[in-house]
Amino acid sequence: MRVSNDCRSPFPDVLLALNAFPPIRGYPIVSNRQQTSAFALIGDRYHNSDYIRTGLGKTLGEGTGLSVNFSDDIYQLNAETLAQYALLIVFRDGMIWPDGYGQGAAYPGYDPTTQGTLSDPPAPELEPRAVQWITPAQGQAVRTFVEEGGAALFYHNSTYITACEDFSHVQGSTTEGHPPVRPYKVEITNRDHPITRDVGDFVVTDEQHYMRYNKDPADVLAISVNEDGHTFGQLGTRCEAAWAYEYGKGRVCYLAPGHTIPALWNPEYAKMQQNAIRWLLRQT
């Protein structure tokens, strides 16, 4: 697999927006931007938009009354879009795959390595190629949005958006990778912050993401700990898992768990996410 850091958009005419989807009953999720307070960019090859929309719809929508405009259209991340919202949520990685996922890629209900592939006439065989989608203008838009008073909540795999320095500077880290899904403990290290208030330590079965955190250690709220002693390469058993800080006139929070709905809906983690929304929007 080749990974390109070319920031140019390979699909300028492709729109993949979920904005037109009808709201889920009981969730304050709407399509009309004039009614919403948050824009969420979600979904990628490894994290489908539906589970994220379902997971956050309950945790953030039902839990805080937040109205969210969900989209998997990367081209919607721009200054014009952000100007309409108080909060940006990013829950996707930095890659798109213009030539598909390769002949051996698995899909829900279908694994070509065990079930075979029949195509008549033959489908073209293309080398899978990951391209970083974010542009310098998008990174600058995010940075300006937060510096001027907006809020940003980054989830899980957003640390894989690595191609633009402005975006990484706002987020506070870049990825070091992760092992396969396994249980780990989220240990609260700062119990005095509004985001962690009344939140206890908890265990999830999830991807334990390892990041290169580059902000003030005092802003770390929680760490992930593999209590079984399993490591990831040379990075040990633990890593920063949540942080929050002021950024210009705005606020930033990052939360690492999120590969599955059960992880997102862990009661202690749900409480933490809801606290994060209130802190980011200055409701506490």
Q: Which residues pair with 95 in a beta bridge?
A: 132
Sequence spans of domains, the chain:
2-173+242-257+270-280
In this prediction the pTM is 0.86
Cβ contacts of residue 16 below 8 Å, gap of 6+? 72, 73, 74
Q: How many CA atoms lie within 13 A of 159 on its CB side?
A: 26
Q: Going residue by residue through the chain, which has 284 residues, state the pLDDT in tens, using 9 for 90 and above.
A: 333 333 434 333 333 333 333 333 333 333 333 445 999 999 999 999 999 999 999 999 888 989 999 999 999 999 999 999 999 999 999 999 999 888 777 788 888 778 877 888 988 888 899 999 999 999 999 999 999 999 999 999 999 999 999 999 999 999 989 999 999 999 999 999 999 999 999 999 999 999 999 999 999 999 999 988 888 988 899 999 999 999 999 999 999 999 999 999 999 999 999 999 999 999 98
The fold of 2-173+242-257+270-280 is: Rossmann fold (3.40.50)
CA distance 82 to 241: 26
Residue 25 region, left (φ>0) first, then alpha (ψ -120 to 50), else beta?
beta
